[in-house]
Structure 1
């Protein structure tokens, strides 16, 4: 597996689940992806769940915490690497975004902040300390893509271009346009437009995609475990994908990538 020892600034570096039911979520993702789960104590923040591949010594693939407020929506948060959390937060606010959780030292693991873009899409920032982020990417059972769904794609292009230096690259996607955000020659994230098929009250949001060996089998297994299929397994150029919600309602994507289509991310 391509284990990594770091992530470049502007790249997705980690995914974190906020759940109202830690036990149910651990059971679902362990059964669906074969992840191992263990608990670490973080000073001033309490217990934190870490998902890894293999065992406690295996590379970290994602994290999980309990929802702070029952009124919040269960969700996956996508973290993006930065060398300067406070400076990036200041830029986010200058470009019309919002600071939701100010820069916070997470013990000796690193520093984070939770933000929202100019359309309300929430995402997080991470400056690594002893934890670089995901220890494995772009392999079965690991995160391999992140995607923004929003209504105003032109505004998202402007916002993320200013904040992370991303450049948009549009391509045909069925009867609409899909945007790849790139850094240099490398695709780092995607974007779809939310249309009339989305409930009017549903906010802009980021979701992670996890690599699975057989999209159809994994989608069926998710339903057996109490999840729901929102978009059934579908063939697209990058592979065969499905959109799911887990038993608590958190959205995520799964994909079996087309072999050799996406170049490996550059080493850091």
Structure 2
């Protein structure tokens, strides 16, 4: 079990998805990961919280924009209004200005200069995900980009990340801890696929997880393969075509 009571600023701390059918999406991921999904009531506009043993792990809500649904990565910040200024000063844009989410926290939605959407989360009563790095929980967030150097410069300016010295894959760090990655998009990504953040969920058994995705009406973009030194993973689409990854880690996360 990897429970959290806080996420350092600059760390991806939460994910949610806007779905054209939140009830069906909750049923799919609930069956896949063992989530209990609780509607937060009419004041929350149909938003629901996915939990494992009462701990928050992800959110599911109605889709707000046209096009295929997608998972949004939230990055923890000390002051989301200041983050919005840094995003714009560094060439990004603000898609949704800073707003309070009841007493849970304050958020804004951004787009980096290359077109990848992400969000900032300023925690108050909610830190974001209470559990990470275990079955059914968030364990990695990976930017897929066509301009890795530009992405590194932008996110360093905004969040102060340091990066591993690798031209093929960028691991970003908060202090000495690797908290996510950035990968160049190659020929396997059609031109119409936008730059995006891919969300990884940990699973106990990759083959069982992939079989369950298919059983529940999802599809796989890859069959299980070795992420060298990390574990066995696969990239999948849920029944509404939202992409996500599942990974059986070689070593449990802390």
TM range (shorter): over 0.9
SS at match of 2:209: helix
1:27 paired residue number: 27
Q: 1:182 aligns with which of 170, 173, 183?
A: 173
The 8 Å contact of residues 146 and 206 in structure 1, kept in 2 or not, is answered as yes
Question: Following TM superposition, where does structure 1 have runs of at least 4 consecutive aligned residues deviating by more than 4 angstroms?
Answer: none
Per the TM alignment, residue 129 of structure 1 is displaced from its structure 2 partner at its CA by: 1.5
User: Residues 105-116 of structure 1: matches in 2 within 5 Å?
Assistant: 105-116=100-111
Partner of 1:59: 55
C-alpha deviation, 1:168, in angstroms: 1.6
Which structure dedicates a bigger proportion of its chain to strand?
1
**Matches of 1:92 and 1:258 in 2, distance apart?**
35
- The corresponding residue for 2:194 is 203
User: Structure 1-normalised TM-score?
Assistant: 0.91
Cα deviation for residue 115 of structure 1 reads 0.3
- Tell me if 1:254 matches 2:249: no
| TM-score using structure 2 length | 0.96
Q: Of 232, 241, 246, which aligns to 1:240?
A: 232
Instruction: Give the Cα separation in 2 of the matches to 1:179 and 1:46.
Output: 37
Mapped to 2, the partners of 1:8 and 1:167 lie a distance apart of: 14
Q: Corresponding residue for 1:141?
A: 136
| Unmatched 5+ stretches in structure 2 | none
Task: Please state whether the residue corresponding to 1:131 is helix, strand or coil.
Answer: coil
Instruction: Give the match for residue 49 of structure 2.
Output: 50
State which of 138, 150, 153 in structure 2 corresponds to 1:155: 150
Query: Is 1:212 the equivalent of 2:199?
Result: no
Q: How far, CA to CA, are the matches of 2:165 and 2:213 in structure 1?
A: 31
Number of the residue aligned with 1:94: 89
* CA distance in 2 between partners of 1:184 and 1:135 (Å): 21
| Distance (Å, rounded) in 1 between the aligned partners of 2:247 and 2:117 | 23
Task: Give the distance between the partners of 2:241 and 2:46, measured in 1 at CA.
Answer: 22
Give the root-mean-square deviation of aligned CA atoms: 1.4
Matches of 2:64 and 2:136, distance apart in 1: 27
* Structure 1 SS opposite 2:46: strand
Q: Deviations over 1:60-90 (max 9, x none)?
A: 0000111123x23200000000111111011
Matched, 1:193 2:184: yes
User: Which residue matches 1:36?
Assistant: 36
Closer, same or farther: CA 258–178 of 1 in aligned 2, 3 Å: same
| Unaligned residue ranges in structure 1 (runs of 5+) | none
Aligned pairs (5 A) from 1:112-131: 112-131=107-126
Q: Are the aligned partners of 2:15 and 2:71 in contact in 1 as well (CA < 8 Å)?
A: yes
**Aligned counterparts of 1:41 and 1:100: Cα–Cα separation in 2:** 25
8 Å contact from structure 1 (residues 75, 251) kept in 2: yes
Q: Matched residue of 1:182: which SS? A: strand
Alpha-carbon distance in structure 2 between the residues aligned to 1:46 and 1:17? 14
SS in 2 for 1:201: coil
Q: Aligned residue pairs: how many?
A: 253
